[in-house]
Chain A
Amino acid sequence: MGVREILVSKSFKVLLLFAAISISAWTSMPGEPETGPYQFNYPKNFGNRINTPDNNPTTKQGVYLGRLLFYETKLSANNKLSCAGCHQQEKAFTDGKAFSTGVDNVPTSRNSMSLANLLWARKLFWDGRAASLEEQAAVPLTSPHEMGQSLRESASKLSSSNTYRGLFKMTFGDDNITGQRICMAISQFERTLISCNSRYDRYLAHEYTPTKEELNGMNLFMNSPYPQLERRGANCSQCHGGAKTYLELFHNNGLDSIPKDAGIEAITGLTGDCGRFKVPTLRNIALTAPYMHDGRFKTLAGVLDHYSEHVKESPSLSTFLRNESNDVDGKTLNLRPEEKRDIIAFLNMLTDSAFVTNPQFAAPDKLSAR
């Protein structure tokens, strides 16, 4: 090998090294997030009664940061759990378990809730005790049975990252990382989780023709039973109606005569609130088993059987579930097997595949925030 060749070889190696460093620098730096107000896109029939606090306007950089934080395991005491542990996108942001296990391996007391169309939610949790996502987010982050780490500790851990300091500065005006700001950014990301592209949405937009089963299921879902007029119904839309299939209501749906979990009564002390829980969104309901606040039903068929035949009487039972029947003088809905099947066909129309595969909601590149 001559001197010239050695030099060329050396410069080639230097070039290679330089290229390698450049590429590694590029992959370890976050793509510069876009900045400016975030524009929510949703169908007109969802209405504009959205819930964004004045002190936390949604921005593109805030959503970018919030998404990183949503998937950030440093926010848990054992550095293994993130929000996404119990809110997995492919399961419409649930975890498929009746109760979740957090950093201490003690099961949570209630079922992990689906995250979709939270932009419109004004009361969070199964008992509605949080009035904003910001308030809600602090609870699972710090609860000993969930992520189990104080907000102060979380803020301190993130503060060692230049990337995070930069993103907090872009979002909040300075690089001070606080627990409150962590919750604010996560909330901004959660507000973008809009599900509006199911077959039902396309049906409402006159872009999809339902099958015979879906259509029959839809009619049963929407109608109250009226046996005197031979109108059959399952009365679901009383509590799950509207284009979003979400109404912000809280009911005792007859799971137990004497509930183990008192629900809202534990907060208000009012017996009328006994066994009362949030009526959850039915968006992507086929993906969010098991069902109810305690995950007692493994399948939608089990849920339909409950509403059709097994509603338990109690003083706080929702009035919409009392003495509603498809039989004259009947006490229960008494849906026929084929009617239950059709209602489940309709419920499957609420699955939004674009939502559960939307790359904007997925885990960001792991390298991006290091």
Chain B
Amino acid sequence: MKKQAFALLAFIALLINPYTAQLYAQGKEATVRVSGEVTTPIELKAADLQQFSQTDVKRKDRDGNDHTYTGVILADILQKAGATIGKDLTKENLAKYVLVEASDGYQIVFGLAELDKGFTDRLIILATKIDGKPLAPSDGPFRVIVQDEKKPARCIRQVTAIKVQFAK
């Protein structure tokens, strides 16, 4: 009897768990697809990104205040998918670019070398948090944050896809 009551309690707890509730409310979970010139195309959920090492980047927002964004260095994600980052980023691979797409159709590009720490110390992350909290729905769940870039236009919100491509 006790066992059954416990199971029932656990079941109710699971039902009203805010995380479960949130998932239910949000319908299908958003993902980021990494594809193109990679050896292993991958599709990442928010939880998958937590498996990567996390990096903080400070940036002023439109409101003029500094915010701390937390996320994964874009190059780490590309490396995981098998893009030619690091020691492989030489010769013709320097003619590659990374096309980032948002759910509203907005697109921006980086040269692949712009993301590689062998070329630059500037941090470009795929952020999932702002000041320790999840990004607002209109910005997230995934947003690129480019450290020190003067215009915010490449800090693309609601990222859905990252494609590595050769310039033709």
Q: Are A270 and B30 touching (Cβ within 8 A)?
A: yes
List the B residue with the shortest CB-CB distance to A273: B103
Q: Are B27 and A319 touching (Cβ within 8 A)?
A: no
List the B residue with the shortest CB-CB distance to A315: B137
User: Least Cβ distance of B132 to chain A in Å?
Assistant: 21
List the B residue with the shortest CB-CB distance to A322: B138
Q: In the complex, which residues 37-60 of chain A have their Cβ closer than 8 Å to any Cβ of chain B?
A: none
Question: A126 an interface residue at 8 Å Cβ cutoff?
Answer: no
Q: Are B104 and A316 touching (Cβ within 8 A)?
A: no
List the B residue with the shortest CB-CB distance to A317: B138
List the B residue with the shortest CB-CB distance to A123: B105
User: Least Cβ distance of B20 to chain A in Å?
Assistant: 16
Question: B158 an interface residue at 8 Å Cβ cutoff?
Answer: yes
Q: In the complex, which residues 336-370 of chain A have their Cβ closer than 8 Å to any Cβ of chain B?
A: none
Give the docked Cα–Cα distance between A128 and B160 (Å).
15
| A322 contacts across to B, CB distance below 8 A | 138
Q: Are A249 and B28 touching (Cβ within 8 A)?
A: no
| A315 contacts across to B, CB distance below 8 A | 137
Give the docked Cα–Cα distance between A318 and B26 (Å).
17
Given A316-B137, A322-B138, residue A248 in contact with residue B105 (CB < 8 A): yes
User: Least Cβ distance of B11 to chain A in Å?
Assistant: 26
Q: Are B27 and A318 touching (Cβ within 8 A)?
A: no
| A272 contacts across to B, CB distance below 8 A | 30, 103, 137, 158
Question: A181 an interface residue at 8 Å Cβ cutoff?
Answer: no
Q: In the complex, which residues 1-54 of chain B have their Cβ closer than 8 Å to any Cβ of chain A?
A: 25-28, 30
| B104 contacts across to A, CB distance below 8 A | 249-251, 276, 318
| B26 contacts across to A, CB distance below 8 A | 271
User: Least Cβ distance of B113 to chain A in Å?
Assistant: 23
Q: In the complex, which residues 235-275 of chain A have their Cβ closer than 8 Å to any Cβ of chain B?
A: 247-251, 265, 268-273
Give the docked Cα–Cα distance between A250 and B158 (Å).
12
User: Least Cβ distance of B51 to chain A in Å?
Assistant: 22
Q: Are B138 and A319 touching (Cβ within 8 A)?
A: yes
Question: B110 an interface residue at 8 Å Cβ cutoff?
Answer: no
| A269 contacts across to B, CB distance below 8 A | 27-28
User: Least Cβ distance of A263 to chain B in Å?
Assistant: 12
Give the docked Cα–Cα distance between A247 and B30 (Å).
24
Give the docked Cα–Cα distance between A319 and B28 (Å).
21
Chain B binding surface SS class: loop
Give the docked Cα–Cα distance between A271 and B27 (Å).
6
* Interface range on chain B (Cβ under 8 Å from partner): 10 to 19
Q: In the complex, which residues 101-131 of chain B have their Cβ closer than 8 Å to any Cβ of chain A?
A: 103-106
Q: In the complex, which residues 131-168 of chain B have their Cβ closer than 8 Å to any Cβ of chain A?
A: 137-139, 157-158
Give the docked Cα–Cα distance between A248 and B103 (Å).
11
| B106 contacts across to A, CB distance below 8 A | 249
Partner of A249, one of B27, B105, B138: B105
Partner of A270, one of B27, B105, B157: B27
Give the docked Cα–Cα distance between A250 and B27 (Å).
19
Q: Are A319 and B157 touching (Cβ within 8 A)?
A: yes
Give the docked Cα–Cα distance between A316 and B104 (Å).
11
User: Least Cβ distance of A213 to chain B in Å?
Assistant: 31
User: Least Cβ distance of B24 to chain A in Å?
Assistant: 11
Q: Are A268 and B28 touching (Cβ within 8 A)?
A: yes
| B25 contacts across to A, CB distance below 8 A | 271
Give the docked Cα–Cα distance between A128 and B157 (Å).
19
List the A residue with the shortest CB-CB distance to B30: A270
User: Least Cβ distance of A334 to chain B in Å?
Assistant: 20
Give the docked Cα–Cα distance between A123 and B139 (Å).
23
User: Least Cβ distance of B105 to chain A in Å?
Assistant: 5
User: Least Cβ distance of B36 to chain A in Å?
Assistant: 16
Give the docked Cα–Cα distance between A265 and B105 (Å).
14
| A247 contacts across to B, CB distance below 8 A | 105
Give the docked Cα–Cα distance between A276 and B103 (Å).
10
1/0 contact trace for A199-229 toward B, CB 8 Å? Answer: 0000000000000000000000000000000
Q: Are A250 and B139 touching (Cβ within 8 A)?
A: no
| A319 contacts across to B, CB distance below 8 A | 138-139, 157
Give the docked Cα–Cα distance between A322 and B138 (Å).
10
11 A–B pairs (Cβ distance < 8 Å), ordered by A: A249-B104, A250-B103, A250-B105, A268-B28, A268-B103, A270-B28, A271-B27, A273-B103, A276-B103, A318-B104, A319-B157
Which A residues are within 8 Å of any B CB, using their own CB?
123, 128, 247-251, 265, 268-273, 276, 315-319, 322
Given contacts A249-B105, A271-B26, A319-B138, 20 further A-B contacts (CB under 8 A): A123-B105, A128-B105, A247-B105, A248-B105, A249-B106, A251-B104, A268-B28, A268-B103, A270-B27, A270-B28, A270-B30, A270-B103, A271-B27, A272-B158, A273-B103, A276-B103, A318-B104, A318-B138, A319-B139, A322-B138
